[in-house]
Amino acid sequence: METWIERLLFASRWLLAPIYLGLSLALLALGIKFFQEAYHVLSHIWAMKETDMVLTILSMIDLVLVAGLVIMVMFSGYENFVSQIDVEGKEREISWLGKLDAGTLKLKVAASIVAISSIHLLKVFMDLSEVPNDKLLWYVVMHLTFVVSAVLMGMLDRLSFASHRHQKL
């Protein structure tokens, strides 16, 4: 009975596979939105004000950062919790694949959130005349919360788990 339960629990990890595959749909949506923004910039390049163009390009960078985050979560999550990804040929190999454990992935997610938050804050600063002071204060507080959280997560990871990772490599 115990063996049967353990095999069932072990096999249940495959329930995550469709979820990771579903993230590829989010990646597709991000790609569509990116090219929509690129089309908007290129079709209005002569009439667009410089600040509007910079804000749109920052939005595009934001989409790229989120897309990279989705890729990291898809690949490393699948590798950590479901099965190893077998890729033919060295040219198709991703250098970090198989090296991100759940703790490292959390740190990368936190760093990506800080980068995305920085871009949003920069967009707010570029349109400062339109933002009330109380909202600006909350934007800065939220960004600093993300920064402090990421730093604390990094420190906790270093104190708790870093020595275990170096032994595996």
Is 43 found in the same domain as 1?
yes
For residue 143, pLDDT beyond 80: yes
Closest residue by Cα to residue 30 from 64, 71, 78, 75 = 64
For the chain, the domain total comes to 2
Is 70 found in the same domain as 12?
yes
User: Residue 164: its pLDDT value, please?
Assistant: 61
pLDDT, tens digit, 9 for 90 and up, residues 36-86: 999 999 999 999 888 888 888 888 998 998 898 898 888 888 887 788 777
Sorting pLDDT into bands at 50, 70 and 90, what band is 28? Answer: very high
Is 84 found in the same domain as 2?
yes
**Distinct helix (H) and strand (E) counts, the chain:** 6, 0
Is 85 found in the same domain as 32?
yes
| Residue 100 near residue 108, CB atoms below 8 Å | yes
Q: Domain boundary at 41, 69, 92, which?
A: 92
Could you tell me the CA-to-CA distances from 124 to 51, 114, 158 in Å, in that order? 11, 15, 33
Is 79 found in the same domain as 7?
yes
| Residue 119 near residue 62, CB atoms below 8 Å | yes
Residue 116 lies in domain: 101-169
Is 79 found in the same domain as 117?
no
Two structure tokens written together for 147: 């920064």
Is 7 found in the same domain as 85?
yes
User: Residue 65: its pLDDT value, please?
Assistant: 87
Is 84 found in the same domain as 3?
yes
For residue 130, pLDDT beyond 60: yes
